[in-house]
């Protein structure tokens, strides 16, 4: 086989293993990249390792470390508690506060997983007190967090925009974020209409009298909020480099004892970073050996020019149900956008990129994803856990088709704006 074929086999193997194994696919991808590159493509080890995304690693480390520090000193939990308390027990308002609060918090930088970990326990408890379905609460929290997951300063947004820039599709960071947020808002609105709260008015009135259960912000929390606000301003006004500036901000918080370094480092999602960087290394090998056209041709056989957006959203959604969106689907599929359009003979690479991003994210309420699992973990009774698992699984699988339809109908229009 050619070097390109070896690299393609390695990537497909990594994707299959991500669906069937609990082993960190990043470690597997690094191993497969070395085997395919050195033994299959006859490259030198340094040439293979030259594809390691060092800049992406620093960016992910900086952003996740900063918000791990904010999580470790209680700042993010305090913000989440205040968001939930704004509902004052009104079951009609609570779902949208959960969605909006998760969207805002996720967009600031933590991303979907830390946001759901913080908001879900509070939101699910508030839902039970106000007569809101735990299923609806889980959907609003997960969709809100995922709606902000492609923010230009969130880790997954950084990954997606970096790949798109490398592929010649840069400059659309805000469009990607807003399109993803709009798609999740539309799905959340549908969930609200189907499952809208029907709590008795006396129960709502009783819940409204409850006082907010949170304390005043501490010195460390105020310092953390101020540091993050200054960091965001620096990014927007002075175009600070995302990763290094986040590292500086985290270091400052540690130096003034507003955050504990050891505790923050323990909260950094090292497994996810290894996953993203490992798969990115394997994709870089695919590009170096000329295997990307082969991968695109394999995908192109599933679609026609007129159905490309919906088909790629369906394929990535189906894979993302069982695999990692940020660690596998985004790094593996986004680089194929231009080649897919060329292989099928029509389409818009930006619309394809938008479809990959949204199609893979909408299914992440599945209990097989971290987001859905975190919501299930908040339920104390085994029977309630099983019921929520079943309903989230059904909803997540339905989102494969919903994402495909949304992207087929709207992605070309969004790309043209």
Query: Quick one: pLDDT at residue 201?
Result: 45
| Residue 138: closest CA among 417, 379, 305 | 379
Q: State how far the Cα of 63 lies from the Cα of 168, in Å rounded to an integer.
A: 24
Report DSSP letters for 330-347, one per residue: HHHHGGGHHHHHHHHT--
Lowest mean pLDDT segment, chosen from 120-124, 288-292, 396-400 = 120-124
pLDDT beyond 70 at 202: no
| Between residues 227 and 236, the one the model is more confident about | 227
Which two three-digit tokens encode residue 35? Answer: 């085997």
Mean pLDDT of the region 194-216: 59
Which band of pLDDT confidence, cut at 50, 70 and 90, is reported for residue 125?
Answer: confident
- The CA–CA distances, whole Å, from 14 to 24, 27, 275, 298 equal 10, 10, 11, 16
| Residue 411: closest CA among 342, 340, 359 | 359
Distance in angstroms between the alpha carbons of the first and the last residue of the chain: 44
Q: How does the average pLDDT of the chain come out, rounded?
A: 90
Query: Quick one: pLDDT at residue 212?
Result: 54
89 dihedral zone (left: phi>0; alpha: psi -120 to 50; beta): left
Query: Quick one: pLDDT at residue 383?
Result: 87
- The CA–CA distances, whole Å, from 375 to 102, 124, 135, 184 equal 13, 8, 9, 17
Distant-in-sequence, close-in-space partners of 108: CB < 8 Å, separation ≥ 6: 67, 148, 151, 153, 154, 228, 232
pLDDT beyond 50 at 209: no
Parse the chain into domains and list their residue ranges: 3-198+219-416
What pLDDT digit, counting tens, does each position of 129-179 carry? 778 899 999 999 999 999 999 999 998 999 999 999 998 999 999 999 999
Mean pLDDT of the region 358-377: 91
Which band of pLDDT confidence, cut at 50, 70 and 90, is reported for residue 232?
Answer: confident
pLDDT beyond 60 at 213: no
């Amino acid at each position: 086989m050619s070097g390109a074929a070896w690299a393609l086999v390695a990537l497909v193997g990594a994707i299959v293993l991500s669906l069937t194994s609990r082993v960190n696919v990043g470690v597997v991808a690094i191993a497969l990249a070395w085997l395919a590159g050195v033994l299959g493509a006859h490259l030198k080890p340094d040439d293979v390792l030259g594809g390691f995304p060092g800049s992406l690693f620093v960016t992910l480390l900086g952003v996740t470390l900063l918000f791990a520090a904010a999580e470790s000193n209680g700042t993010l939990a305090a913000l989440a508690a205040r968001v939930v308390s704004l509902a004052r027990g009104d079951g009609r308002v609570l779902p949208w506060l959960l969605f909006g609060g998760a969207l805002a918090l996720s967009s600031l930088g933590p991303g979907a997983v830390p946001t759901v970990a913080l908001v879900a326990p509070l939101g699910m408890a508030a839902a039970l007190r106000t007569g809101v379905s735990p299923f609806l609460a889980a959907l609003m929290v997960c969709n809100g967090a995922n709606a902000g997951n492609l923010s230009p300063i969130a880790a997954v947004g950084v990954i997606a925009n970096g790949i798109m820039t490398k592929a010649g599709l840069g400059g659309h960071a805000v469009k990607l974020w807003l399109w993803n947020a709009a798609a999740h808002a539309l799905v959340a609105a549908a969930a609200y209409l189907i499952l809208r709260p029907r709590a008795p008015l006396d129960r709502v009135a009783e819940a409204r009298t409850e006082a907010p259960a949170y304390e005043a912000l501490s010195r460390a929390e105020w310092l953390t909020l101020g540091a993050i606000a200054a960091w965001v301003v620096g990014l927007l006004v002075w175009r600070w480099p995302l990763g290094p500036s986040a590292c500086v901000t985290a270091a400052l918080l540690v130096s003034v004892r507003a955050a504990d370094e050891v505790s923050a480092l323990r909260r950094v999602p090292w497994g996810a970073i290894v996953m993203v960087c490992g798969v990115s290394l394997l994709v870089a090998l695919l590009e170096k050996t000329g295997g990307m056209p082969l991968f695109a041709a394999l995908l192109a056989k599933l679609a026609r020019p007129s159905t490309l957006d919906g088909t790629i959203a369906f394929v990535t959604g189906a894979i993302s149900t069982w695999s990692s969106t940020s660690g596998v689907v985004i790094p593996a599929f986004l680089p194929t956008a231009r080649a897919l359009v060329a292989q099928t003979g029509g389409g818009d690479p930006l619309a394809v990129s938008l479809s990959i991003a949204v199609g893979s994210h909408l299914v992440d309420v599945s209990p097989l994803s971290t987001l859905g699992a975190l919501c299930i973990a908040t339920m104390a009774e085994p029977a309630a856990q099983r019921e929520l698992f079943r309903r989230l699984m059904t909803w997540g699988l339905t989102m494969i088709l919903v994402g495909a339809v949304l992207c087929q109908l709207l992605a070309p229009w969004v790309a043209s704006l």
